Amino acid sequence: MRNIRRLTVLGAAVLTALLAACSAPSQDPSTATDVQPVPTVTASGALAPTPAPGAGAATFGSGCSSLPGGDDPGSLGTMRLQPVAGAVGTNPQLSMLNQAISKANLTATLNAAPGLTVFAPSNAAFDKLPANQLTTLLNNPTQLAALLRYHVSGTRASADELRAQGTVPELAGGSVRVSVTGTGAGTSMTVADASGTTARVVCGNITTQNATVFLIDTVLQPQG
């Protein structure tokens, strides 16, 4: 009889342990600290770049709707997969800027930079320049490079981040003043150069592989 009681107690203990093991919560793989994000794969099979600071914010501006759509060259979807000079080269609204970057020998420099903010004059912006001034610039790579570098900041930032900064230093030296109002699709943004000339952002927060691009309607001019 005593042996039977011992076996009964032992069996109850084993059963309790089994039930506790079965009821213990299993770890959710999605909450594990060593789980890494799954990279996005493009249609061509290449890995899409990981978003950097200043990347991925919603685009805004009346000019965004006139950009190519879908997977067409120069669309928002294709530009984000390319370094900035390559992305500019595919966009029909930036063909003059693409020509200027090439003549100023800045293609490799811009593409290799780790993170940039680019105020990109559209074709309409270059059309505002006197014809003789544009011709002179295109024939003077050094002067042209200085002008283009005044449109580039060495850190990557979205419109909201630029709003907080207010003033943005440029690679050529000097700075531009940024004014941002509204939020989301209703954001409005202007950029003022050293002489006080103001350019309107017609499409902002365009993401490329290594830069955030803002299409502007006026070419900025460094002082002096």
Q: Examine residue 151 and state whether it is found in any structural domain, yes or no.
A: yes
- The larger pLDDT score, comparing residue 99 to residue 184, is at 99
Q: Examine residue 198 and state whether it is found in any structural domain, yes or no.
A: yes
pLDDT value for 48: 42
pLDDT value for 181: 95
Mean pLDDT for the stretch of residues 139-151: 96
pLDDT value for 223: 77
What's the predicted TM-score (pTM) here? Answer: 0.76
Q: Examine residue 41 and state whether it is found in any structural domain, yes or no.
A: no
Q: Examine residue 25 and state whether it is found in any structural domain, yes or no.
A: no
Long-range contacts (CB closer than 8 Å, 24 or more residues apart) made by 91-98: 91/67, 92/68, 93/63, 93/66, 93/67, 93/122, 93/123, 93/215, 94/120, 94/122, 94/123, 94/215, 95/123, 96/121, 96/122, 96/123, 96/126, 96/127, 97/121, 97/122, 97/123, 97/126, 97/148
d(CA 103, CA 125): 18
What are the pLDDT digits (tens) for 34-88? Answer: 333 333 333 434 334 444 555 568 999 999 999 999 999 999 999 999 999 999 9
Q: What are the φ/ψ torsions at residue 106 (nearest 5 degrees)?
A: -110, 0
Q: What is the mean pLDDT of the chain?
A: 82
What are the pLDDT digits (tens) for 175-206? Answer: 999 999 999 889 999 999 998 999 999 999 99
The percentage of the chain sitting over the pLDDT mark of 90, rounded to a whole number, equals 70
Nearest-5° angle of CA 156, CA 160, CA 164? 90
Statement: residue 8 has pLDDT above 50? no
Helix (H, G, I), strand (E, B) or coil at 34: coil
d(CA 178, CA 210): 21
d(CA 212, CA 155): 9
Mean pLDDT for the stretch of residues 200-218: 98
Q: Examine residue 19 and state whether it is found in any structural domain, yes or no.
A: no
- The larger pLDDT score, comparing residue 10 to residue 207, is at 207
pLDDT band at 14 (very low <50, low <70, confident <90, very high): very low
pLDDT value for 185: 86
Pairing of strands 211-216, 116-121: parallel
Q: Examine residue 187 and state whether it is found in any structural domain, yes or no.
A: yes
Residue 83 belongs to a domain with what CATH number? 2.30.180.10
The secondary structure of residue 224, as a DSSP letter, is -
- The larger pLDDT score, comparing residue 223 to residue 62, is at 62
Contact 216, 97 (CB under 8 A): no
Q: Examine residue 125 and state whether it is found in any structural domain, yes or no.
A: yes
Mean pLDDT for the stretch of residues 214-223: 94
Statement: residue 159 has pLDDT above 90? yes
For residue 155, the enclosing domain spans 62-216
pLDDT value for 224: 62
Q: Examine residue 136 and state whether it is found in any structural domain, yes or no.
A: yes
As for how many domains the chain has, the answer is 1
pLDDT value for 54: 53
Contact 79, 201 (CB under 8 A): no
Statement: residue 9 has pLDDT above 60? no
d(CA 223, CA 141): 18
The tokens describing 224, both together, are: 């002096």
Residue type (1 letter), 83? P
Mean pLDDT for the stretch of residues 20-31: 42
